[in-house]
Protein backbone atom coordinates (compact mmCIF):
# COMPACT_ATOMS: atom_id res chain seq x y z
CA UNK A 1 0.00 0.00 0.00
CA UNK A 2 1.13 3.59 0.55
CA UNK A 3 3.96 5.18 2.57
CA UNK A 4 2.34 7.94 4.63
CA UNK A 5 3.91 10.36 7.12
CA UNK A 6 1.68 11.79 9.86
CA UNK A 7 2.76 14.63 12.17
CA UNK A 8 1.24 15.05 15.61
CA UNK A 9 1.05 11.26 15.56
CA UNK A 10 1.25 10.76 19.32
CA UNK A 11 -2.10 12.27 20.29
CA UNK A 12 -5.67 13.10 19.33
CA UNK A 13 -6.51 13.37 15.63
CA UNK A 14 -2.98 12.41 14.52
CA UNK A 15 -3.00 9.24 16.64
CA UNK A 16 -6.47 8.25 15.36
CA UNK A 17 -5.27 8.84 11.80
CA UNK A 18 -2.17 6.68 12.29
CA UNK A 19 -4.32 3.87 13.66
CA UNK A 20 -6.86 4.00 10.82
CA UNK A 21 -4.27 4.25 8.04
CA UNK A 22 -2.24 1.37 9.54
CA UNK A 23 -5.35 -0.79 9.89
CA UNK A 24 -5.98 -0.21 6.17
CA UNK A 25 -2.56 -1.69 5.38
CA UNK A 26 -0.45 1.43 4.84
CA UNK A 27 3.08 1.97 6.13
CA UNK A 28 2.73 4.93 8.45
CA UNK A 29 5.65 6.95 9.79
CA UNK A 30 4.77 9.12 12.76
CA UNK A 31 6.40 12.43 13.72
CA UNK A 32 5.94 14.11 17.10
CA UNK A 33 7.79 15.61 20.03
CA UNK A 34 7.87 12.22 21.71
CA UNK A 35 6.42 8.70 21.56
CA UNK A 36 6.62 7.98 17.83
CA UNK A 37 9.00 6.84 15.05
CA UNK A 38 10.51 10.26 14.32
CA UNK A 39 11.03 12.62 17.23
CA UNK A 40 11.27 16.23 16.06
CA UNK A 41 10.30 19.74 17.07
CA UNK A 42 8.42 21.25 14.13
CA UNK A 43 8.54 24.73 15.67
CA UNK A 44 12.11 25.07 14.36
CA UNK A 45 13.37 25.00 10.79
CA UNK A 46 16.09 22.51 11.83
CA UNK A 47 13.43 20.21 13.29
CA UNK A 48 11.32 20.42 10.10
CA UNK A 49 14.31 19.63 7.87
CA UNK A 50 15.48 16.73 10.04
CA UNK A 51 11.95 15.28 10.34
CA UNK A 52 11.40 15.47 6.58
CA UNK A 53 14.77 13.83 5.82
CA UNK A 54 14.06 11.04 8.32
CA UNK A 55 10.57 10.47 6.85
CA UNK A 56 11.91 10.25 3.30
CA UNK A 57 14.60 7.81 4.44
CA UNK A 58 12.03 5.65 6.28
CA UNK A 59 9.91 5.61 3.09
CA UNK A 60 12.94 4.62 0.96
CA UNK A 61 12.68 7.86 -1.02
CA UNK A 62 9.04 7.68 -2.06
CA UNK A 63 6.24 9.07 0.06
CA UNK A 64 2.66 8.75 -1.19
CA UNK A 65 1.05 11.05 1.36
CA UNK A 66 1.82 13.55 4.11
CA UNK A 67 -0.71 14.45 6.80
CA UNK A 68 0.13 17.37 9.09
CA UNK A 69 -1.77 17.18 12.37
CA UNK A 70 0.88 18.61 14.72
CA UNK A 71 -0.44 21.74 16.34
CA UNK A 72 -0.90 23.75 19.52
CA UNK A 73 -4.33 24.92 20.64
CA UNK A 74 -5.48 28.36 21.80
CA UNK A 75 -6.06 27.12 25.35
CA UNK A 76 -2.57 25.74 25.83
CA UNK A 77 -0.01 27.51 27.99
CA UNK A 78 2.09 28.36 24.91
CA UNK A 79 2.52 31.87 23.55
CA UNK A 80 0.77 33.11 20.43
CA UNK A 81 4.11 33.13 18.63
CA UNK A 82 4.76 29.47 19.44
CA UNK A 83 1.33 28.60 18.01
CA UNK A 84 2.23 30.41 14.79
CA UNK A 85 5.59 28.64 14.51
CA UNK A 86 4.10 25.15 15.00
CA UNK A 87 0.68 25.48 13.34
CA UNK A 88 1.65 27.46 10.25
CA UNK A 89 5.41 27.25 9.70
CA UNK A 90 5.64 23.71 11.13
CA UNK A 91 3.15 22.52 8.50
CA UNK A 92 4.24 24.62 5.53
CA UNK A 93 7.97 24.11 6.11
CA UNK A 94 7.58 20.37 6.55
CA UNK A 95 5.39 19.99 3.44
CA UNK A 96 7.76 22.07 1.33
CA UNK A 97 10.66 19.84 2.40
CA UNK A 98 8.66 16.75 1.46
CA UNK A 99 7.35 18.00 -1.88
CA UNK A 100 10.14 16.50 -4.06
CA UNK A 101 9.65 13.09 -2.48
CA UNK A 102 5.86 13.31 -2.91
CA UNK A 103 6.38 14.30 -6.56
CA UNK A 104 8.42 11.14 -7.14
CA UNK A 105 5.31 9.07 -6.30
CA UNK A 106 3.56 10.58 -9.41
CA UNK A 107 0.18 10.49 -7.60
CA UNK A 108 0.43 11.83 -4.07
CA UNK A 109 -1.62 13.54 -1.38
CA UNK A 110 -0.98 16.15 1.28
CA UNK A 111 -3.37 17.23 4.02
CA UNK A 112 -3.00 20.26 6.30
CA UNK A 113 -5.04 20.84 9.42
CA UNK A 114 -6.88 24.16 9.43
CA UNK A 115 -9.80 24.86 11.79
CA UNK A 116 -13.40 26.03 11.71
CA UNK A 117 -12.27 28.88 13.99
CA UNK A 118 -11.11 30.54 10.74
CA UNK A 119 -14.70 31.31 9.83
CA UNK A 120 -16.34 31.48 13.24
CA UNK A 121 -13.97 33.47 15.45
CA UNK A 122 -14.31 37.26 15.18
CA UNK A 123 -11.46 39.75 14.68
CA UNK A 124 -8.75 37.45 13.37
CA UNK A 125 -5.54 39.56 13.18
CA UNK A 126 -4.86 39.90 9.46
CA UNK A 127 -1.33 41.19 10.14
CA UNK A 128 -0.40 37.76 11.53
CA UNK A 129 -2.01 36.04 8.54
CA UNK A 130 -0.14 38.30 6.10
CA UNK A 131 3.26 37.80 7.79
CA UNK A 132 2.75 34.02 7.66
CA UNK A 133 1.80 34.02 3.98
CA UNK A 134 4.79 36.25 3.16
CA UNK A 135 7.07 33.74 4.90
CA UNK A 136 8.25 36.33 7.44
CA UNK A 137 8.50 33.82 10.28
CA UNK A 138 10.33 35.93 12.89
CA UNK A 139 7.86 38.79 12.41
CA UNK A 140 4.82 36.48 12.38
CA UNK A 141 5.99 34.91 15.65
CA UNK A 142 6.55 38.34 17.20
CA UNK A 143 3.07 39.46 16.10
CA UNK A 144 1.60 36.20 17.42
CA UNK A 145 3.17 36.91 20.81
CA UNK A 146 1.80 40.44 20.69
CA UNK A 147 -1.83 39.47 19.97
CA UNK A 148 -1.81 36.40 22.28
CA UNK A 149 -2.73 32.76 21.78
CA UNK A 150 -6.51 33.07 21.37
CA UNK A 151 -6.38 35.34 18.27
CA UNK A 152 -3.08 33.83 17.03
CA UNK A 153 -4.69 30.40 16.75
CA UNK A 154 -7.31 31.19 14.07
CA UNK A 155 -4.77 33.48 12.36
CA UNK A 156 -2.31 30.58 11.99
CA UNK A 157 -5.10 28.33 10.70
CA UNK A 158 -6.52 30.93 8.29
CA UNK A 159 -3.04 31.48 6.86
CA UNK A 160 -2.72 27.73 6.44
CA UNK A 161 -6.05 27.43 4.60
CA UNK A 162 -5.05 30.29 2.27
CA UNK A 163 -1.59 28.77 1.71
CA UNK A 164 -3.24 25.47 0.75
CA UNK A 165 -5.61 27.18 -1.71
CA UNK A 166 -2.79 29.23 -3.26
CA UNK A 167 -0.26 26.40 -3.54
CA UNK A 168 -2.56 23.48 -4.45
CA UNK A 169 -3.26 24.83 -7.93
CA UNK A 170 0.36 25.59 -8.90
CA UNK A 171 2.69 23.53 -11.10
CA UNK A 172 4.68 22.61 -7.96
CA UNK A 173 1.75 20.78 -6.42
CA UNK A 174 -1.08 19.72 -8.75
CA UNK A 175 1.33 20.01 -11.69
CA UNK A 176 3.52 17.43 -9.95
CA UNK A 177 0.57 15.12 -9.28
CA UNK A 178 0.18 16.08 -5.59
CA UNK A 179 -3.34 16.83 -4.41
CA UNK A 180 -3.05 19.28 -1.52
CA UNK A 181 -6.15 19.84 0.64
CA UNK A 182 -7.04 20.96 4.15
CA UNK A 183 -9.45 19.84 6.83
CA UNK A 184 -11.17 22.44 9.03
CA UNK A 185 -12.52 20.63 12.08
CA UNK A 186 -14.89 22.16 14.62
CA UNK A 187 -14.43 21.23 18.27
CA UNK A 188 -13.07 17.69 18.48
CA UNK A 189 -12.69 15.87 21.78
CA UNK A 190 -8.91 15.47 22.18
CA UNK A 191 -6.30 16.55 24.75
CA UNK A 192 -6.26 19.92 22.91
CA UNK A 193 -9.85 20.64 24.02
CA UNK A 194 -10.24 18.56 27.16
CA UNK A 195 -6.72 18.02 28.52
CA UNK A 196 -6.25 18.23 32.29
CA UNK A 197 -3.63 20.98 31.82
CA UNK A 198 -6.17 23.42 30.32
CA UNK A 199 -7.68 26.34 32.19
CA UNK A 200 -11.05 24.77 33.24
CA UNK A 201 -13.05 27.98 32.61
CA UNK A 202 -11.68 28.42 29.09
CA UNK A 203 -12.16 24.70 28.39
CA UNK A 204 -15.82 25.02 29.44
CA UNK A 205 -16.25 28.07 27.18
CA UNK A 206 -15.58 25.87 24.13
CA UNK A 207 -18.98 24.29 24.63
CA UNK A 208 -20.70 27.64 24.03
CA UNK A 209 -19.78 27.16 20.37
CA UNK A 210 -23.07 26.29 18.66
CA UNK A 211 -22.95 22.82 17.09
CA UNK A 212 -26.22 21.90 15.30
CA UNK A 213 -25.23 18.22 15.45
CA UNK A 214 -25.34 18.55 19.24
CA UNK A 215 -21.95 17.18 20.24
CA UNK A 216 -18.20 17.52 19.82
CA UNK A 217 -16.46 15.66 17.03
CA UNK A 218 -14.48 12.51 17.68
CA UNK A 219 -10.87 12.10 16.48
CA UNK A 220 -11.86 8.98 14.49
CA UNK A 221 -14.36 11.08 12.47
CA UNK A 222 -11.59 13.45 11.36
CA UNK A 223 -9.28 10.48 10.71
CA UNK A 224 -11.93 9.00 8.36
CA UNK A 225 -12.01 12.25 6.40
CA UNK A 226 -8.21 12.31 6.22
CA UNK A 227 -8.20 8.73 4.98
CA UNK A 228 -10.61 9.78 2.21
CA UNK A 229 -8.43 12.79 1.30
CA UNK A 230 -5.35 10.56 1.01
CA UNK A 231 -7.10 8.07 -1.28
CA UNK A 232 -8.03 7.85 -4.96
CA UNK A 233 -11.65 8.31 -3.89
CA UNK A 234 -10.81 12.02 -3.52
CA UNK A 235 -9.57 12.23 -7.10
CA UNK A 236 -11.31 15.53 -7.89
CA UNK A 237 -10.25 17.38 -4.75
CA UNK A 238 -7.37 19.80 -4.79
CA UNK A 239 -7.16 23.08 -2.91
CA UNK A 240 -10.31 22.18 -0.95
CA UNK A 241 -10.77 23.21 2.67
CA UNK A 242 -13.24 20.67 4.00
CA UNK A 243 -15.20 21.74 7.09
CA UNK A 244 -16.03 18.92 9.49
CA UNK A 245 -17.74 20.74 12.34
CA UNK A 246 -21.22 19.36 12.97
CA UNK A 247 -22.76 22.31 11.11
CA UNK A 248 -21.23 25.28 12.99
CA UNK A 249 -19.89 27.05 9.89
CA UNK A 250 -23.18 26.59 8.01
CA UNK A 251 -25.14 27.92 10.98
CA UNK A 252 -23.00 31.00 11.60
CA UNK A 253 -22.32 31.96 7.98
CA UNK A 254 -25.55 30.84 6.37
CA UNK A 255 -25.63 33.26 3.41
CA UNK A 256 -22.00 34.33 3.50
CA UNK A 257 -21.18 32.42 0.35
P1 LIG B 1 -3.49 17.12 20.32
O2 LIG B 1 -2.98 18.11 21.30
O3 LIG B 1 -4.19 15.92 20.82
O4 LIG B 1 -2.32 16.65 19.34
C5 LIG B 1 -1.41 17.56 18.78
C6 LIG B 1 -0.07 16.86 18.64
O7 LIG B 1 0.84 17.80 18.04
C8 LIG B 1 0.54 16.41 19.98
O9 LIG B 1 0.89 15.04 19.94
C10 LIG B 1 1.76 17.30 20.13
O11 LIG B 1 2.85 16.69 20.80
C12 LIG B 1 2.10 17.61 18.66
N13 LIG B 1 2.94 18.80 18.60
C14 LIG B 1 2.75 19.98 19.23
N15 LIG B 1 3.80 20.80 19.03
C16 LIG B 1 4.68 20.12 18.25
C17 LIG B 1 5.96 20.42 17.73
N18 LIG B 1 6.57 21.59 18.00
N19 LIG B 1 6.59 19.50 16.96
C20 LIG B 1 6.00 18.30 16.73
N21 LIG B 1 4.79 17.95 17.20
C22 LIG B 1 4.14 18.84 17.96
O23 LIG B 1 -4.43 17.96 19.34
P24 LIG B 1 -5.54 17.51 18.28
O25 LIG B 1 -6.83 18.01 18.78
O26 LIG B 1 -5.38 16.11 17.87
O27 LIG B 1 -5.16 18.47 17.07
C28 LIG B 1 -4.60 18.02 15.84
C29 LIG B 1 -4.67 19.15 14.83
O30 LIG B 1 -6.04 19.47 14.58
C31 LIG B 1 -4.02 20.45 15.32
O32 LIG B 1 -3.34 21.05 14.25
C33 LIG B 1 -5.19 21.28 15.75
O34 LIG B 1 -4.92 22.66 15.70
C35 LIG B 1 -6.24 20.86 14.75
N36 LIG B 1 -7.59 21.10 15.21
C37 LIG B 1 -8.05 20.53 16.36
C38 LIG B 1 -9.34 20.81 16.78
C39 LIG B 1 -9.90 20.23 18.06
O40 LIG B 1 -10.99 20.66 18.47
N41 LIG B 1 -9.25 19.27 18.70
C42 LIG B 1 -10.17 21.65 16.02
C43 LIG B 1 -9.67 22.21 14.85
C44 LIG B 1 -8.38 21.93 14.44
Q: Which of 67, 64, 32 is nearest to 47 (CA)?
A: 32
Active site residues: 153
Nearest 5°: CA angle at 231, between 48 and 178? 50
ipTM comes to: 0.99
C-beta 12 within 6 A of ligand 1: yes
Q: What is the DSSP letter of 187?
A: -
Q: What are phi and psi of 78, to 5 degrees?
A: -80, 155
Closest atom of ligand 1 to 117 CA is 43
Closest atom of ligand 1 to 222 CA is 30
C-beta 41 within 6 A of ligand 1: yes
Q: Is 201 helix (H, G, I), strand (E, B) or coil?
A: helix
CATH code of the region 3-250:
3.40.50.720
pLDDT digit string (tens) for the chain, length 257 residues: 899 999 999 999 999 999 999 999 999 999 999 999 999 999 999 999 999 999 999 999 999 999 999 999 999 889 999 999 999 999 999 999 999 999 999 899 999 999 999 999 999 999 999 999 999 999 999 999 999 999 999 999 999 999 999 999 999 999 999 999 999 999 999 999 987 778 777 777 788 889 999 999 999 999 999 999 999 999 999 999 999 999 999 999 998 87
What residue owns the CA closest to ligand 1's atom 41? 188
Tell me how far the alpha carbon of residue 6 lies from the centroid of ligand 1, in angstroms. Answer: 11
Closest atom of ligand 1 to 76 CA is 2
Amino acid sequence: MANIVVTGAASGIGAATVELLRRSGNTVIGVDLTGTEIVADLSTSVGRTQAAAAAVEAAHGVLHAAVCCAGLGPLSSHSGGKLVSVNYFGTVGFLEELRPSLARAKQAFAVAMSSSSTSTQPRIPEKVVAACLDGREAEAVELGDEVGAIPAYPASKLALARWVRRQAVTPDWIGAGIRLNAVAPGVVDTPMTSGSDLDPNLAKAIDFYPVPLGRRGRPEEIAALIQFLTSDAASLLTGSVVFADGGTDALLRQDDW
